[in-house]
A = this chain, B = another copy of it.
Amino acid sequence: MSVQAAAAAQTTKATMWAIEKSRPEPGLRPITAPVPAVGPKDVFIRVTAFAICGTDLHIVEWDPWAQSRIKPPLIPGHEFTGVVESVGPEVKAVKPGDRVTAETHIYCGLCYACRRGLAHLCQNVRILGVDRQGAFADYVVIPEQNIWKLHPDIPEEIAAIHDPLGNAVHTALAGPVAGLRFTVFGCGPIGCFSIGILKACGAAWVAAVDKNPLRLDLAKRMGADVTLNVERDAVVPSILKATDGHGVDAMLEMSGHPDAFRDGFEALANGGRVSLLGIPSRPLEIDVAREIVFRGAVVQGINGRIIFDTWYRMEALLLAGKLDVRPVITHVLGWSEFDKAVELQRSGKAGKIVLRRDHD
């Protein structure tokens, strides 16, 4: 299909199915929305599957963060995959029919961060489904600069979760891994992905920490050498014992929970790495002298994915068969089961839930 034909195809529909945060209050609802407009550098995508992120639950629940950041009406959704239907006239490397997903931090390309190779820390970032119309819809529009074309061997349910899987790759590979020992605090999907990545990349030992037995079981299935339940196990002594008393070489923080900060540092070797992806809901008390200064710790804030270094390495790990993330995808549902998916995810009885298009 030529660009012209594709553009024509697009214009044949004026409206589409979508899920919307319509008003500043809890809940989401299905709507009929206008099909989004396509600018000269944009790619117009027919969404085929999406997944629900923890961020989306904040938006559903309309918590303080959501109230401060989200301006309804908004179509949420930033974990997705689809097929290109048409492209704007300035688009060069993407064409109709391409299977794609996207880096959902739409970066400006012009700020001090972007111009020094830190586009993932863009000062003017607009996040899909947070700051602009998202992917819980029949169609979504993404600038070409953010498009990731999928290799044919990547299955759809994994394509739909490249965004959180990329978070995990970014966090895990933010320092040396091979022959080192790790803790991962928080065994939600990103924590579990990280465990799989660490083990695929030569981590010698990974302890997974959470309080949810289902999540700890997923962590085990992703390769954790030890799982520690904070409600039952002596977390710090267990880790110190397993590391000859000196603590792990690095800690990945995926929970945002204050206890993880306390325990994680206590079980960290001098000079160790701390990679923070979890989002604490409020300021935390940290014993900076003891935990960071005297320990010589290196604490990194991790945001998004390195564009596109993280993506290339994620794809290579997947294609090499080194990383099997399917145990974390506990449910594959249809879009018509959106409410059920939200409930499942809220309940903590699911890992990652992928939702496939189940209407034309």
- Which positions in A face B, CB cutoff 8 Å? 40-41, 90, 92-93, 109-113, 115-118, 120-123, 145, 169, 172-173, 176-181, 197, 200-205, 225, 244, 246, 256, 261, 269-271, 276-289, 291-303, 306-309, 312-317, 319-320, 322
User: Is the beta-carbon distance between A316 and B179 smaller than 8 angstroms?
Assistant: yes
Asked if B289 contacts A286 (CB within 8 A), the reply is no
Other CB < 8 Å A-B pairs besides A203-B320, A299-B299, 11 of them? Answer: A113-B246, A113-B270, A115-B308, A121-B270, A121-B271, A169-B179, A173-B176, A204-B316, A204-B319, A293-B303, A296-B302
The A interface is mostly helix, strand or loop, or mixed, namely loop
Q: What's the Cα separation between A179 and B90 when bound, in Å? A: 32
Chain B residues with CB below 8 A from A118, complex form? 270-271, 296
Q: Quote the shortest CB–CB distance from A205 to chain B (angstroms).
A: 6
A285-B288 in contact given A121-B271, A314-B179 (Cβ < 8 Å): no
Residues of B near A90 (CB, < 8 A) are: 40-41, 90
Minimum Cβ distance to chain B for residue A107 (Å): 11
**Distance to closest chain B CB from A208 (angstroms):** 16
User: Once the chains are docked, how many angstroms separate the CA of A316 from the CA of B228?
Assistant: 21
User: Does A202 lie within 8 Å of B201, measured CB to CB?
Assistant: yes
Inside 8 A of A244's CB, which chain B residues have their CB? 112
Q: How far, in Å, is A94 (CB) from chain B's closest CB?
A: 10
Give A63 Cβ to nearest chain B Cβ, in Å: 13
Known contacts A179-B317, A292-B301, A286 near B287 by CB under 8 Å: no
CB distance from A285 to the nearest CB of B (A): 5
